[in-house]
Structure 1
Amino acid sequence: MSSAKEVIVIGAGIVGASIAWHLTKAGARVTVISDSGAGGVATPNSFAWINASWGNPEIYFRLRIRAMAEWKRLANELPGLPLAWCGGLCWDLPADRLEAYAAEHASWGYGIERVDAGRAAQIEPNLVEPPEFAVYVAEEGVAEPVAAAKALLADAERQGARVLSSSVTALVQTDGRIAGVDTSHGLMPAEEVVIAAGVGAPDIAATVGIKLPIETPPGLIVHSQPYKKLLNGLVHAEKLHMRQTAEGRIIAGSDFAGSDPGENPDATARELFAAMKAALRGADELEFDFHTVGYRPTPIDGFPIIGRAEGTEGLYVAVMHSGITLAPAVGLFATREILDGERDPLLRPYGLGRFAQ
């Protein structure tokens, strides 16, 4: 790979951090620019589930499976990365749809186990009402998202990257090519600019006439005070998705992407916390701490936007909802494409060109 390319990465969430780390490791001169600090905006509000689950087509499943493997590779290369392969127990679908999902994904090679109430109680003994039928995937996991992003950025800095706190006001274009960025601290030149700014990406791209068709639905997640261990892994019950963090907080949403905060987010949070507490044995002294409302950068067709902006040289876009799962694969693949021009076949469906500009 080239050892001299000057690359600016806009965004310090998990996706931007992974791209910056991979680029730096490959020899590029990397500057990360973010006005929100390490961890970005969406990453701190993430449920942080690493999976290849749910109702996705097989082609997207293959990308997600590869990303799960890349998390393990990344953890070997960067010891201490805060990951836990804790498994996921799910019954948040009607029984017929849950069975169809299990059969489909099992045929694709996903390690799905069908479980009854007895087995569910073995997996998560503190559930008040273990499900009569659920599926369990032992290979699913979680990252502690902000800590993981900070670890990647810190190691990138150790290898020579720069991480700057500044806001990007515009992309700078010269003769049809992106030549750098204009920031609150002045103009910064680059041979390539990567937009990995999540919900802020559309406004940045728009400064050179590029439309990123992204929605930003809100998601509310409640966080308990740190508590004794009640959950072994991920739990996806009906309208209640929970996990326990490394520091002992139990976090939950009515969906892993977060709850609709409604007109009164405080009231929504309290109701959700009460439901979480009622679902767990031994939670009598569990106390509410705070809630977050994150805005998820979600392309309008639900799938990631990863790749160069066609017709605009020097610009690479990496914006997606499933950033936690996909981050290590996106970092690896983006680095190969930016430095060597090699686009991984798994990214073929996810270019910006699929949307009419």
Structure 2
Amino acid sequence: MSSPKQVIVIGAGIIGASIAWHLTKAGARVTVVSESGAGGVATPNSFAWINASWGNPEIYFQLRIRAMAEWKRMASDLPRLPLVWCGGLCFDLPPDRLEAYAAEHSSWGYGIERVDARRAGQIEPNLAELPDFALRVAEEGVAEPVATTKALLADAERRGARIAAGTVDRLALGNGNVTGVVVSGEIIGADDVVIAAGAAAPAIAATAGIELPIETPPGLIVHSRPYDKLLNGLVLADRLHMRQTAEGRIIAGSDFGGGDPGEHPDTAARELFAAMKAMLRGADGLELDFHTVGYRPTPVDGFPIVGRAEGAGGLYVAVTHSGITLAPVLGLFAAREILEGERDVLLTPYGLERFAR
């Protein structure tokens, strides 16, 4: 009987946590290495919207809709995951583009309801101004990002994974292959290394001569102090997306990824919070608690980079902007590919080799 595969996962954000959990559950011996601790860097700054919404080709929609199904599968294994299918109310596009989105995605099987002002008021009665036309997708949801990541890592640890704090100096190389990582001068060996380190991924990959074409645009998100319930689900309004967390905080960005904070993020945060507060009835006592500026790891073509890196045996890369939505499906598919050599057809467009072409 062969011994379990030794895998190092670099990064403890939601993508790294999901890959580590799926690998451990499948029998691998996993070490998670992270400088920032559970939650990583980008994950705590996420709006955390789970969706297969507008603006993407059908092939990417299929990956995202599969991811939504995998969230439900993962939640059945971990019933305490802070996952809520609260639905989303969308009116952040002109009516003609909303209608085009509804027609296209409905034909793909997405459960879209066309909504007038009266129905919008039933869904979100505390909106100060109701849209004449909006779209409702009841199957969209939210996973509280840090709590979800910690739950995955805790269960992976319970199953035998090791969580190690430290900075990855470089990838260890031998005969053209990646054989482990060097952490604070110490080599940790492995059969495979997974880079799931978000914005830090390009610098780590470069130590093995691998270029990752990734941008890291900033995103400003404001967080209120906990407050009475004002929102039932996600509200995707023109230049303002908002939701209320499980502890009662209302969080918002100029879109779901957050907007550019500019040169004065404190001022931008106050202005954004004022705009959010003005959109809500019953929000007189709502107070700004803090804001975050996250740097979103975004491949230059906007789509995930997931798969083995050609020219560096033993290295697997998983970097994407849509980490919250895609986490469970990328964890499942990555674990299968690393342990069994089986690459799911839904990952076909998202290998690193597409940039060489």
**What secondary structure sits across from 2:356 in the alignment?**
coil
The 1-side partners of 2:166 and 2:344 are apart by: 32
Does structure 2 conserve the Cα–Cα contact (< 8 Å) formed by 1:3 and 1:28? no
- Partner residue of 1:317? 317
CA–CA distance in 2 between the matches of 1:346 and 1:159? Answer: 28
**Residue type of the partner of 1:70?**
E
Q: Distance in 2 between matches of 1:294 and 1:112?
A: 30
Alignment of 1:51-200 (within 5 A): 51-184=51-184, 186-200=186-200
Amino acid of the structure 1 residue aligned with 2:159: Q
**Any conservation in 1 of the 2:35–2:167 contact (CA below 8 Å)?**
yes
CA 1:288–1:16: 2 relative to 1, 3 Å = same
Ranges in structure 1 where 5+ consecutive residues have no aligned partner: none
Q: C-alpha distance in 2, partners of 1:48/1:63?
A: 17
Which residue of structure 2 lines up, in the alignment, with residue 27 of structure 1? 27
Alignment of 1:235-246 (within 5 A): 235-246=235-246
**What's the TM-score, normalizing by structure 2?**
0.99
Report the Cα distance in structure 2 between the residues aligned to 1:228 and 1:187, rounded to whole angstroms: 51
User: CA–CA distance in 2 between the matches of 1:69 and 1:185?
Assistant: 42
Offset at residue 2 of structure 1 (A): 7.0
Segments ≥4 residues shifted beyond 4 Å: none
What letter corresponds to residue 302 of structure 2 in structure 1?
A: G
Q: Name 2:273's counterpart in structure 1.
A: 273
- Quick one: distance in 2 between partners of 1:306 and 1:336? 13
Residue 316 of structure 1 aligns to which amino acid in structure 2? Answer: Y
Cα deviation, 1:22-56, whole Å, max 9, x if unaligned, reads 00000000000000000000000000000000110
1:205 aligns with 2:228: no
The residue that corresponds to 1:12 in the other structure is 12
Contact 2:219 2:259 in 1 (8 A): yes
SS of 2:270's partner is helix
Give the superposed CA RMSD: 1.0
- Cα distance in 2 for partners of 1:176, 1:3 equals 24
Match of 2:205, SS?
Answer: helix
1:296 aligns with 2:272: no
CA distance in 1, matches of 2:129, 2:257: 23
Residue 254 (structure 2) aligns with: 254
| C-alpha displacement of 1:115 | 0.2
Deviation at 1:311, TM superposition (A): 2.2
Please tell me whether the aligned partners of residues 3 and 27 of structure 1 are also in contact (alpha carbons under 8 angstroms): no
SS of structure 1 residue aligned to 2:15:
helix
Instruction: Name the CA shift for 1:19/1:2 in 2 (closer, same or farther; >3 Å).
Output: farther
Task: Find the counterpart in structure 1 of residue 215 from structure 2.
Answer: 215
- 1:195-246 deviation line (CA, Å, top 9, x unaligned): 0000000000000110000000000000000001000000000001000001
Contact 2:169–2:185 (Cα < 8 Å) also in 1: no
- Per-residue displacement from partner, 1:170-194 (whole Å, max 9, x unpaired)? 0011111110001115110000000
Does the aligned pair in 1 maintain the 2:217–2:295 contact within 8 Å?
yes
How many residues get paired? Answer: 357
1:98-141 superposed Cα distances (whole Å, 9 cap, x missing partner): 11001000000000000000000000000000100000000000
